[in-house]
Amino acid sequence: MRQPASSSGNKTAILLVLSVMSMLVFSVLWQGSTAVMSHSEEGHVVMLDPGHGGYDPGAITSQGVYEKSINLQIAQKVKEMLAPSGIQVFLTREEDIDYVPDGVKGKTTKKQIDLNRRIDMANEVKANIFVSLHVNATATGQNSGAETFYDYKSESGKELAVLIQQELIKIPGMNRRIAKPGDFYVIKNTNMPAVIVEVGYLSSLKEQKKLQQTWYQEQLSRAIAKGIASYFGLP
């Protein structure tokens, strides 16, 4: 699960999309084509963000499976897998913690303080990309499979999301979803290209069992690691 950027800003968002689109059209007409710097020429620093932690468990199943634990297990595997590539990987948390000081009240305030700290951490290490890892859940339990979201304003974010999702859908039995734009706090407020990967649905009984298995977590982690490596032009 992830934090929506706002619950009442839909009209504003539509207007923004329209104005951004018209600006884009205008700038393309005005400038013609512009050269795009390859991401392989930039640094190779990744901030991986295992979603939730500490007071905030994320999605929970009636069997007592916590989203925050799966997010961390996958993040640690992605970090290990990227180590040989020379990509520098940081995690926003290495254990079951949050970044909300004692005494802070209010669900939204606590969530934003926690997310802002993670965004600051990415800035502090000068991360080139930010990858937030989550597990989804729905009330009906009918959905399954991985989804990757990017901020619609970020071309590089989209590129990263597409590369990761392309690898995820190669996993046997996975859905064929494509990367999607999403209106979420963390991907809107980072300075670098950012994506949210929802690796699957805890609300699907079948998928919930797989998501706890090391072999399945490794398949997901390898796909995410491959997507990140190809973003930087690395094998």
Positions that interact with Zn ion (CB under 5 A): 1, 51, 58, 134
Q: How far is the CB of 136 from Zn ion (least distance, A)?
A: 7
Spatial separation of the C-alpha atoms in residues 114 and 52, rounded to whole Å: 9
Closest to Zn ion by CB, 45 or 180: 180
Residue type, 171: I
Closest to Zn ion by CB, 1 or 162: 1
Q: Give the chain's largest Cα–Cα span.
A: 57
Q: How far is the CB of 167 from Zn ion (least distance, A)?
A: 20
Closest to Zn ion by CB, 87 or 100: 100
212 touches 70 (CB < 8 A): yes
Q: How far is the CB of 42 from Zn ion (least distance, A)?
A: 28
Closest to Zn ion by CB, 58 or 182: 58
Q: How far is the CB of 203 from Zn ion (least distance, A)?
A: 12
Q: How far is the CB of 188 from Zn ion (least distance, A)?
A: 16
CB closest to Zn ion, residue no: 134
196 touches 179 (CB < 8 A): no
Closest to Zn ion by CB, 146 or 229: 146
Residue 136, classed as helix, strand or coil, is: strand
Spatial separation of the C-alpha atoms in residues 77 and 225, rounded to whole Å: 9
Computed from CA positions of residues 166, 200, 119, 186, in that sequence, does the dihedral angle turn out positive or negative? positive
Angle at 41 between CA 40 and CA 47, to 5 degrees: 65
